[in-house]
Amino acid sequence: MITVMTALEAIPKISELLTRLIKLTKDRETGALVQQIQEHQLEIHTALVVADAKIRDLERQLAEAQAEEVRIHSAIEFRRGKRTGGIWMPFCPKCKMPARSDFGIFCSAECGWVSALPSEDLPRVIAGL
């Protein structure tokens, strides 16, 4: 993103310098080459603007697709969104991986996080979210 913005800022400056060069030069061939360079710069600038707009749109779409509602209860992070099928699910607040509730509530990635909340209380907590 930084490179695209730098290029977008640099092209008008280069174009201005080339225009000044055309005015200074008396050689028609050099002037014609400079004009061709300016035309190519305009094409590149247009392509960069279009690419930048596409990138921003894709970033927006990705953010919308990954949007989740997050709530904290009993030191457990609960998430609801597309990847959870629209239902509240417990997640490890430490490493953000899904939590398991087989025998207690703990991190499925085994990062060491364990909840003090008894697993049998999980449905009641979820219903209250």
Give the contacts of 13 (CB within 8 A, at least 6 positions apart). none
Which range among 18-22, 29-33, 41-45, 56-60 has the greatest average pLDDT? Answer: 56-60
Under 8 Å between Cβ of 68 and 58: no
Distance CA 44, CA 27 (A): 26
Would you say residue 66 has pLDDT above 90?
no
Strand-by-strand arrangement of the 105-107 sheet: 99-100, 105-107, 114-115
Model pTM score:
0.56
pLDDT for the residue numbered 61: 93
Average pLDDT over residues 12-40: 76
* Token representation of residue 100: 């398991």
> pLDDT > 90: what percent of the chain?
56
Distance CA 126, CA 88 (A): 6
The conformation of residue 32, written as its DSSP 8-state character, comes to: H
Under 8 Å between Cβ of 95 and 74: no
Under 8 Å between Cβ of 88 and 80: yes
Would you say residue 116 has pLDDT above 70?
yes
